[in-house]
Amino acid sequence: MNMRSNIALSALVCAGIIAWLSGFASRQLVNPAEIKADAVKIEVAETATAGASASKKSGPEPILALLKDADLARGEKVAKACAACHTFDKGGKNGVGPNLYGVVGRKKQSHEGFAYSGSLTETGGDTWTYTELSHFLYKPKAYAKGTKMTYAGLKKTEDRAAVLAYLRSLADAPAALPTEAEISAEAAE
């Protein structure tokens, strides 16, 4: 070996030792811990109603009767929390969550190009109906165990109805509003 080869080899060995020592020192200074919970958790404040009983129903209240008169502007405002992970425009890209244009009436887990967790296959029903979306938005983790969605849920019935009305408007041909028979059937459940 000549002198240049020795210098080059020495430089590589020194660089490797420096890299190893800096990694070792950084692990000693900062103790990395494995994350055991979602890094970003969006909490929605839940308001207590006067006279609420302890035996409160675990699922969301019926929603279909509220859709006809739901406030689209309110729905758009409430849905801004969803914009952290979703897009709403036609042909929009998927984000952390799938694009939501045309979601009402769409087949579950069907938006092209999004890698779903597969948890929605166990929820029943193939299509995102108003009722299915209401249950999902109420408590996503309870509705679809194992879902990637970290949103805590939308507890206020009026807000959920407004968001569903807004999502309904995001379509080339918006889904039909519920019939009186569907509203009555949901109220009877």
Rounded-to-integer distance, Cα 168 and Cα 144, Å: 22
Mean pLDDT of the chain: 86
Query: What digits encode the pLDDT tens for the residues 100-125?
Result: 999 999 999 888 888 888 888 777 77
Give the residue extent of every domain in the chain. 1-31, 64-188
Q: What is the CATH class of 64-188? A: mainly alpha
Query: What digits encode the pLDDT tens for the residues 65-87?
Result: 999 999 999 999 999 999 999 99
Query: What digits encode the pLDDT tens for the residues 126-143?
Result: 899 999 999 999 999 998
